[in-house]
Structure 1
């Protein structure tokens, strides 16, 4: 009897497909809510995987670049039905939200200049800032269980916010720190809790074979690289579509640490490096992503739509925007399947590896600092109309003009904080209420 037959009850492919579609349609609330939904459905309700296997898959996905919730769905789908199960699970986690985001990005491009629409997005931005703060608190409670972990988080914040250290270097440094601390003082980083081993090691072979893993990875790599190379050859590296393909391909490789860390990287690159969006527009996109099912990284689809819409080349803006959104989705998510199909058969054999767990714990601690950086960056650009970037030796400083503070933005964020953090209202309700209050504030002003 195979490992899957022993550890996972026999599951019909049609039943699994219906379940993955249900999860894809209901996966609101960011990665924490999505992972909780999958745990409830797959572990508690369906009992298709046990707790140890689910946590081990989650730990591996948190080590990967890209959206951990989508990769977790792909991993469990692979455990159930091999390659085809992983493809179906991963796609159904993406497609419902992607269709909604395409419609919202189209409406945003065409109507964001209308006063009521702009006012609604103003309110949403104020609430999204609180969502990021809530993510810092949530991840921090889980990750910062020792003084060493707090030190790693603080160092990560200083490195990315004040020293502008590239995010991939922060992740690599955190992983190396975790491994070194494990060698020198086992348990120092996690304080005896942390992530912990994902479960007892088992001898059962994972589904598939090494040859099948390499074959699937080769197909994914070819599907990923083909449109990027075709664009480079056809239009050159300076074309808007080629830049979209290259940037989001790079993002798929270097953005470790979960969805909010990825969002921080996209926001700063799209706004400061490429100039595709203004800071406020990035907040609008994040607000839209929070209101749709699927991974938060779908905000990249919003970025790709606007980047192409504003530089359409020979296409009309609407067609260009749709093409930019589709290209962004392709180069963002095809690598996610590659990482799972290539790594999962081997990572299944590493359950309970303490050195790997220490590296993961350090990365998760560093992510707290990175997400805090995202929150501070968003707050500065939301609360102040004018923010100057200056240098003081090696330090990069953001200096707000205090005369440009927006009391309405501060007030709406405070109300959203009370609703989300104190009253524990559902996130869609908080975002909807913030949009209504934004319209009211716009009318008053």
Structure 2
């Protein structure tokens, strides 16, 4: 055997065998159960599993899909899973990937919301959160590094990432404006400096790193992903019915002013405003759910965000907590059925929040698939990815501030530090960066450590 050509190198020259629907189904279920760390951590997990380990899709095609999901309203990680599932196994594959990305989180949040509102303080959960939050900070930093190391191929893209970070961190520029500015820069950059805005690192480098993929850079677009006006019209009609029928039933049975109907309408609007992820829409949700409708208190909203941050699935699933608390506390089915009211409210809100995401993928995916070699489309999306790296770094700092200085700087910067949280973050970062540990293992170990330390400190 030639020592310069080891078996591992040979084995990656050929693409992996075709993936059956049920093989993908079990992977999407697993992903839904381990997708901690918010969108950045979830995208990092998908890249590691789908691009590097399983080679179901090439890095260039992965980034092209990710770029499209970044400009859509809604949870980009869930949309990316839906997109790849659709690309692999048509509409049923996209539905399976998207639903399974959300379903475990919905079930877990319903249970935790019930424990929270019915039994008050839960020391076990508080201890687990104490360890998970610092680990999430490290996971987000690692995700920024992983995406940035692949997307920031030159000084111009680094400059876009840096400008994006300054804009959101120091100037508080809204994320949609950052995306729009990056897209404009990418469009003109693709015309005047096309070599600076080519997607990914090129097939040669990708192939050398991970090997040929099932859906590779030059794999033809499958028939179901080809654009047609008839298919687009069909998707629009079906999507409209999937929204109109349940909304019509709510109005007919409960009336327009009922809490269920108002939740469905409010979170439909929220779903169309989630550019830039959950944090971009949280002020809108807070204003509506807490201030206007008074479905829950400000303290409950903050606790719900903590639950959303530390459970698998999209962070926007905090809306399920909001709805559960609103349905439960208002006893919409009477005092003997408060859990049923809360659970139904959470399910309704989840439906109306995520329905647009599926429609955006199934309607827009065919158009995006026809453009993955067209620089006029890929250059703006490449610039957007660079800008998103800066936003992710800002998100990591946001987490770090709230985790390491939970009480702010009231007692001074040094004296107010939660040093145990800092040490957990450092340990998690070392495990992720130096030892390449699995994200779910880091989460689990940090949760156990947090529980032990929290219990010992009390």
Q: Tell me which residue corresponds to 1:437.
A: 449
- In structure 2, C-alpha distance between the alignment counterparts of 1:315 and 1:433, rounded to whole Å: 42
Find the counterpart in structure 2 of residue 264 from structure 1: 279
Residues 41-440 of structure 1: pairs in structure 2 closer than 5 A: 43=55, 57=65, 60-79=68-87, 82-111=90-119, 113-188=121-196, 190=197, 194=200, 199-200=217-218, 206=224, 209-224=228-243, 227=246, 244-246=263-265, 248-256=267-275, 261-267=276-282, 269-270=284-285, 275=290, 277-279=300-302, 281-289=304-312, 298-306=317-325, 308-309=327-328, 317-387=338-408, 402=413, 403-440=415-452
Contact 1:124–1:435 under 8 Å retained in 2: yes
Return the alpha-carbon distance in structure 2 between the equivalents of residues 243 and 166 of structure 1. 27
Deviation at 1:113, TM superposition (A): 0.9
Deviation at 1:273, TM superposition (A): 7.4
Q: Which residue of 2 aligns with 1:24?
A: 28
Structure 1 contact 380–400 (Cα < 8 Å) conserved: no
**RMSD value, Cα:** 3.9
Hey, what does 1:5 align to over in structure 2? Answer: none
Greater Cα offset, 91-100 or 419-428: 91-100
Whether the 8 Å contact between 2:182 and 2:380 is mirrored in structure 1 is yes
Compared CA separation, residues 400 and 132, structure 1 to 2 (3 A): farther
Shift of 1:16: 3.9
What are the ranges of 5 or more consecutive residues in structure 1 without an aligned counterpart? 1-7, 389-398
User: Secondary structure in 2 aligned to 1:405?
Assistant: coil
User: How far does the alpha carbon of each residue in 1:336-385 deviate from its partner, in whole angstroms, 9 at most, with x for none?
Assistant: 22112212333333230112111111111111122222222222222224
CA distance in 2, matches of 1:17, 1:419: 34
State the TM-score, normalizing by the size of structure 1: 0.76
Query: Would you say the 8 A contact 1:126–1:410 is kept in 2?
Result: yes
Deviation at 1:262, TM superposition (A): 1.4
Deviations 1:275-315 (A, max 9, x none): 565546523421112xxxx5565455345434554566566
Query: Which piece of structure 1 moves more, 137-146 or 35-44?
Result: 35-44
CA distance in 1, matches of 2:344, 2:412: 39
1:74–1:90: 8 Å Cα contact kept in structure 2? yes
**Structure 1 pair 284/50, CA: closer, same or farther in 2 (3 Å)?**
closer
Match of 1:37 among 30, 49, 57: 49
Call closer, same or farther: CA 1:331–1:304 in 2, change over 3 Å: same
Return 5+ residue gaps in structure 2 as ranges.
1-14, 36-41, 204-215, 291-295
Q: Give the aligned length.
A: 410
The 5-angstrom pairing of residues 4-23 of structure 1 reads: 16-23=20-27
CA displacement at 1:387 relative to structure 2: 3.9
DSSP 3-state at the match of 1:351? coil
| Cα separation, 2, equivalents of 1:224 and 1:148 | 43
SS of alignment partner, residue 187 of structure 1: helix
Q: Distance in 1 between matches of 2:379 and 2:419?
A: 44
2: CA distance, partners of 1:55 / 1:438: 35
Q: Deviations over 1:76-97 (max 9, x none)?
A: 5545554444434443444344
